[in-house]
Structure 1
Amino acid sequence: MDNTQDKLKLKFGLVGRDISYSFSRGYFADKFKDDNLPHSYVNFDLQSITELSEIIKETKNLKGLNVTIPYKEQVIPLLDKLDKRAAKIGAVNTIKITKNKKHIGYNTDYYGFKNSLEPHLKSHHTKALILGTGGASKAIAYALKKLKISYDYVSRSKKEGVTFLYSELTETIISEYTIIINCTPIGTFPNVDECPNIPFDTISTKHILYDLIYNPEQTKFLRQGYNNGATTINGLEMLRLQAEKSWKIWQKS
């Protein structure tokens, strides 16, 4: 960010629904305080993505936004331009507002996921199951592709691109796919006793269970994997990495 912008009190925020628990607001509040920056970060809790255009228009000095569930795909038609990677992924979690008021969509989720998963990978981690088909899952699929890990989607209902229903998952399938990523909100606080319905008995020390959820820190999904000796990863490091990537995007002129 140039010196002029450093002196301005800029505003950033998170767009989503039911986001009072948000990681981002606390993270950026601490960052601005530690870096002695006068900026602020607020939650825009929307019942419909159609509310966003008016919010952008009314919010002075708004420089950038993060986007979370359920709007990572719905926000795309409201944007002026997509970064090439966001266009390939088909989901946006970061919006930059330029000096001439253009709204450009980016995806930093893929970066956060890829860089938080990579240190845990071993030679047998060649196949992954993606639980859920929402906007977040698209960034996960893109990152797996970059890591040369094959993947299949699991969903509650048959639709294009879905390989397995939860009801079709067998012990044989689970033993074959040694990375399992929960991209659904199942198990998020306060519903901490819930988790995706998979046959956990076959989870072993060869597995990685990755949950994009970070509240609670250890979901029931991760707990069941841990009890069977699996490597378990929650969404906190991914969030930290994607937030820093968003910040770098917002600082560019």
Structure 2
Amino acid sequence: MLVTYLEASRDLCETDSILFGAALAVCRIIGAKLSRAGRATGQSSAIPAWRIRIEERIAKARALIGRLICFRSGNTRPRIVRTVRMAFAGTNVSLSQPDIMQKLTERIDDLKQRIAAWGKRIRRYTERSTRFNQNRLFQSDQKRLYKSLERPIVSGTGPAPNQADTVAIWRSLWSEPVNHSEGPWTEVVASQCASITPMDPVIITPDDVAEAVRRAPNWKSPGLDGLHHYWLKGFMVCHSVLARQFQEALNQKSLPSKEVQK
């Protein structure tokens, strides 16, 4: 059925609408659950259960350290004393023995070492997960990887420039004609480039489309059209139509600007 509709497609917008309708029809036929709010974040981005447990241990250990320090400083409120007794439960340490301050210091140091060990475990996981994601992203989308590695641009904290001054600066650069005097080096470069063979015209074939789609992840977040790569892989009859329409857009040096209506 797709062949008939795709042959009558005039541009990429119509082709995308046809493919989206076909995907929607397949989902309704097989009874797949559809989401109107867009694809939700997958489980891979959720915090692992073991990390949540470690973070809870760290929070409890820090709270216990705070109460032990309060008791060592002379705070003998019943709640503090009860917490200190629970900290030494199962040991032969008594709050009335002479070296209780030393025992408190040892207990506090032990808890700090445990917190440091748990923190290192989380950092090791984070570093390993980051390396794994970067390696996978390097194989699928190198441009996106390099963009994520760039340092964020820190905007200035001073006052914003005046709008009239900004308009005057750019108007002086782009609105007033300027006669440039080219140097002799331009002639040298032009003579050297004269012998360069022009690049062959780009010809987009159905095999090129199939190869590009094959390397794309199946369920990566779609664009405005809402069409995942999975459907472009399954509807192989669209590859020749997409190749022809991409070639037309390349030759005309323009892409459809109208949003797809679904």
Q: Give the TM-score band, short-chain normalised.
A: under 0.3
Name the TM-score, length of structure 2 as normaliser: 0.18
Name the TM-score, length of structure 1 as normaliser: 0.19
Specify the structure having the higher radius of gyration (Cα): 2
Greater strand percent: which structure?
Answer: 1
**Relative contact order, CA 8 A, sep 6+: which one is greater?**
2
Greater helix percent: which structure?
Answer: 2
